[in-house]
Amino acid sequence: MTITVKDVAKKAGVATSTVSRVINDHSSISDATKKKVYKVMEEMGYVPNIAARNLGKRSSGAVGVILPPLDSRERMGNPFYLEIIESINDEARQHSMTTAIATAQTFETLLENVQLMHRQKQVDGFILLYSDKDDPVIDYLFENQVPFSLIGQPYTNEDKVIYVDNDNQLLGKHATDYLIENGHKTILFITNTTHENVYYERYFGYQKAMMLADLTVLPSVDMEKPEDYVAFEELLKDTQATAAVVIDDIFAMRMIQLAQMYGYRVPDDFSVISFNNSIYATLVHPYLTSIDIDIAELGRMGMQKLIESLQEKEATGVRMVIPHKLIKRETVLSLKE
């Protein structure tokens, strides 16, 4: 026998219209009433007709999650995206919404996918999981006034875009400071991307820490081409570097393997610190010293800010900063001991 809104209203002792407002998360209904009605709905096994509800609201009840172009094995295997998508899904479920993923290998194809999702009204808004200076997707969303939130700091229109981020410049400084505190003086900054905002911010933080400590600031070590890996051995010999700040955990694991291949022991000869505190940090020894950026909170707040924008509760140009924490493990050797 099908359970109806009237059945729920009768058992909960409220009007049918009240149940409808609870289902639509209307602000006029108190939290206590919502809790009571939801409890009755659960007891009776009532499932709201989301499609019908969204049709009345002219809403799809879904949000699009946009990943950057998956143009490398590091990106395809980066656990950051899986962790943050799971967090976004959890928050979406709290609001009776679903998520749809937009991904591609190039920006051109990614833009086509996003345009299709928008024009066909498959989603109500988007969450971008990256910030790239050559990204046509964010330009499309901004110019067409499509609701979206951004995980990361935008390159332009900072006062008009809603974004959630860590203080990546401070992250870069804290990582470098930790190496300096442990007696390291010649420190590299190693990256496999030079066009994402996270690179610029973390490298700026590295530069600031080195300058404040009166140490030599070295150019960032860009590992984007096969020949860069071949030249890395010579770079280590020329600089006599004892430590490195690496752009993220998964790439740090590759750099540790590369250093070891060239005969450098980590951390005995070469210390490494990274970011994200992903599952890779404790998969193999030595365990990776990393800065935890609270990926789950980034996803949760990104989704929450998008929903507030969809409900017209949030003005544009809002920045939410998520705290970070240093996780000390085994890849940084103190030279002071």
User: What pLDDT is recorded for position 55?
Assistant: 45
- pLDDT tens for residues 248-287? 999 999 999 999 999 999 999 999 999 999 998 998 899 9
The DSSP letter of residue 214 is: T
* pLDDT reading at 25 higher than 50: yes
Model pLDDT for residues 166-201, shown as the tens digit of each residue: 999 999 999 999 999 999 999 999 999 998 999 999
H helix count then E strand count, the chain: 13, 12
Question: Residue 1: pLDDT band by 50, 70, 90 thresholds?
Answer: low
What is the enclosing helix (H) or strand (E) of 210?
helix 197-212
Asked whether residue 58 carries a pLDDT value surpassing 70, the answer given is: no
Cross-strand bridge partners of residue 165:
321
Q: Is 115 helix (H, G, I), strand (E, B) or coil?
A: helix
* Pair of tokens at residue 19: 């149940």
Question: 88-102, 150-164, 229-243, 310-324 — which one is most confidently predicted on average?
Answer: 229-243
Distance (Å, whole) CA 132 – CA 118: 21
Strands 125-128 vs 148-151: parallel, antiparallel or unpaired? parallel
Q: Of residues 67 and 55, which shows the higher confidence score?
A: 67
* Cα 141 to Cα 156: distance, rounded to the nearest angstrom: 13
**Structural domains of the chain in order of their starting residue, each with its CATH number:** 5-57 (1.10.260.40), 62-166+295-323 (3.40.50.2300), 168-292 (3.40.50.2300)
Taking the C-alpha atoms of residue 272 and residue 284, their distance in angstroms, rounded to an integer, is 14
| Distance between first and last Cα of the chain | 74
Weakest-pLDDT range from 68-82, 158-172, 204-218: 68-82
pLDDT band at 337 (very low <50, low <70, confident <90, very high): low
Amino acid at 316: T
Mean pLDDT of 283-303: 96
- Residue 336 has what pLDDT? 87
Mean pLDDT of the chain: 91
The burial of 238, by beta-carbon neighbours within 10 Å (0-12 exposed, 13-18 middle, 19 or more buried), is given as exposed
Beta bridge partners of 102: 66
CA pair distance 37, 18, nearest whole angstrom: 9
Phi–psi pair at 72, nearest 5 degrees: -150, 160
